[in-house]
Structure 1
């Protein structure tokens, strides 16, 4: 940025019109940024929220989920249906199909993109679920009560299977691992969730790898053939950062932008926020890459404060997410990887239970199924680093805040 550029003349360009991008633009205005703010989005739709896609939009209960933001009143320019192809930091310019876009400050908020099933591209009836267009293409599939095969028993697979069963579809979920959520939760925690599929009438097949997808069928590596009017792929997501190749912006092992604890990149005047960025967590002693809505909501405040020039905010949140699946409300807070103690509250065969993870006596993470009060209190206890009494924690009738050491 030129030394002659005044604060009121600074141009912030946000690439990505999802939650992280929109909230960054809004936070800049809320924190008094007087310059120009421009949000560039690859999709042509008005910016929208993603969680309703796997629920209300799929089931025809909502037409969309546009953010309740008056962009015009806030002086935020939207540049939609425009794909960014690259960035030249030395010139402070973005390259797009419609020509270059100059910036003084760039915020990378391009989120994540679903991993595609190898060999299935171009096969009729194969779907992803990430965008509004994806959800709208799947809605008539559910309405016609098709036989559906879901590949992947992660969060999105479970949520889609729930919606498909509610719509009356026959659903088979195939998972290469030995349990649902194999990459997200320890075996003893995820194992009870396998019964949820059968309870709602979905067929869960673990240790099941897809050999190929044919029109109207999925063939597993053991030779099994599963009828499939539609196939929905939910095998994970990766940061949408390919456009940054060669820019000098450092990318991590998962393709994410490597940001510092203020969400700055190593390139001057470039920030990264949301699903596409990792950050160092002093709380957990490792770098975190969080692909969840709350991270995209919280991070923008840190970015905006740094751009505006307020006292720098260190970004070290307690990660949080939730999932509605098979009639259950599942919430998770924290990061359990370094736990040395696991405490169960309630029977996992029942409708409501919680798992708490401790490290050196302090609560660092918890998973709450149908126990929102545990989650709310636990999140505060994680933030404060309070010591807990494992024996008291085991009593599900005792409030978490009264199970301290």
Structure 2
């Protein structure tokens, strides 16, 4: 998404120079969210972007992996030879974290690429015993698809609850019941000791039958190819970009899952591994490549997840919030949670309430104070909670 949208944004904003888009995978560039939904369940054969690269004057080279960059020479290294550049945009995304020692075991999978989804589609069609390691967003989405396909599913999570790194305990706790409601066995505080052919062995000796194992324990920026380049990387291996998405070396930008950026809105550096970030960031990159006045990237982060029959949306960043307001009963089908800082909305989670999300996103952007009592009334539109 980030690479394709950068090429598209450059043309939309009037860039007339040569644009080359390099991708390591052999496929036409494609959208990733459908991989854990329609593609995985065989409802779609792929999710290629509807972009006419030839008409845009963009040179697309798929199946060409970049192995290094030499900023001093303004050149990329590939197995097929060097590729010169005037300006480079790093948009290599993220790669799944692997389960130590499990890669050599047959039947162990991750879900990140189109090839991953196609392999797992065969697994689901066999209605097998599946163990999912990790109760994060991708683990829940895969478990949802596996149950829809008729598989028997167990989700193993080392922490005490799902989404431990994404949401506060009191917000994620109601989501625990979603697993049982969907017929999924959720085992928390359970660590994987080892994976064997046909089984996952937990650290307490429990053996879980597993004709397939899907690992969803997180992702890391795909930046190892930048080692030795002089481009600054952060604590998580991400490219450290400035507010204009420039890196530490001249003529190199970074955008999407592979990078972090400073947010004035939230007064901290953010690393956002979500689709909307890869859609919005390229517009800032293109503007800075073309224009003389620096454009600043400071979005309200947004993502969504479809799991266990629920549409979950989140906008903002709740890390620095000083108050939490619930709208509705989390045991019900539709509810939301709002986070405030000094009376202003900084984040909203909406379950089955897209209107709350849409209105909340605008209120976060505006930064206007809200009345907590009016905000807590789920019968009121969220935008009606403006403080008087």
TM-score (norm 1): 0.95
Report the secondary structure of 1:22's partner residue. Answer: helix
- For 1:305 and 1:63, the matched residues in 2 are separated by 35
> Displacement, 1:266?
1.2
**Pair 1:335-2:312 in alignment:** no
> Displacement, 1:155?
0.2
2:19 to 37, 45, 60: 37
| Residue equivalent to 1:181 | 163
| Residue equivalent to 2:144 | 162
- For 1:121 and 1:60, the matched residues in 2 are separated by 25
**Pair 1:287-2:269 in alignment:** yes
> Displacement, 1:178?
0.6
Report the secondary structure of 2:72's partner residue. Answer: coil
**Pair 1:388-2:361 in alignment:** no
Q: How does 1:161-240 map to 2 (within 5 A)?
A: 161-240=143-222
User: Please, what is the CA RMSD of the aligned residues?
Assistant: 0.5
**Pair 1:80-2:62 in alignment:** yes
Per-residue CA deviations over 1:11-50 (Å, capped at 9, x if unaligned) read xxxxxxxx00000000000011010000000000000000
Report the secondary structure of 1:158's partner residue. Answer: helix
**Pair 1:131-2:103 in alignment:** no
| Residue equivalent to 1:5 | none
| Residue equivalent to 1:151 | 133
> Displacement, 1:343?
0.3
**Pair 1:90-2:92 in alignment:** no
> Displacement, 1:304?
0.2
- For 1:260 and 1:22, the matched residues in 2 are separated by 21
Report the secondary structure of 2:81's partner residue. Answer: coil
> Displacement, 1:311?
3.3
> Displacement, 1:310?
5.2
| Residue equivalent to 2:101 | 119
| Residue equivalent to 1:3 | none
Per-residue CA deviations over 1:130-158 (Å, capped at 9, x if unaligned) read 00000000001100100000000000000
Report the secondary structure of 1:29's partner residue. Answer: helix
- For 1:118 and 1:347, the matched residues in 2 are separated by 40
The alignment of Structure 1 onto Structure 2 pairs a total of residues equal to: 387
- For 1:381 and 1:321, the matched residues in 2 are separated by 17
Which runs of 5 or more residues in structure 1 are unaligned? 1-18
2:339 to 334, 357, 368: 357
| Residue equivalent to 2:360 | 378
Which runs of 5 or more residues in structure 2 are unaligned? none
> Displacement, 1:309?
1.4
2:257 to 258, 275, 283: 275
> Displacement, 1:392?
0.5
- For 2:13 and 2:324, the matched residues in 1 are separated by 41
| Residue equivalent to 1:68 | 50
1:55 to 31, 37, 51: 37
> Displacement, 1:119?
1.0
**Pair 1:28-2:10 in alignment:** yes
- For 1:183 and 1:220, the matched residues in 2 are separated by 21
> Displacement, 1:312?
2.3
- For 1:36 and 1:353, the matched residues in 2 are separated by 49
- For 1:277 and 1:115, the matched residues in 2 are separated by 17
| Residue equivalent to 1:10 | none
- For 1:201 and 1:360, the matched residues in 2 are separated by 42
> Displacement, 1:122?
1.1
Displacement over 2 Å in runs of 4+: none
- For 2:251 and 2:121, the matched residues in 1 are separated by 42
| Residue equivalent to 1:402 | 384
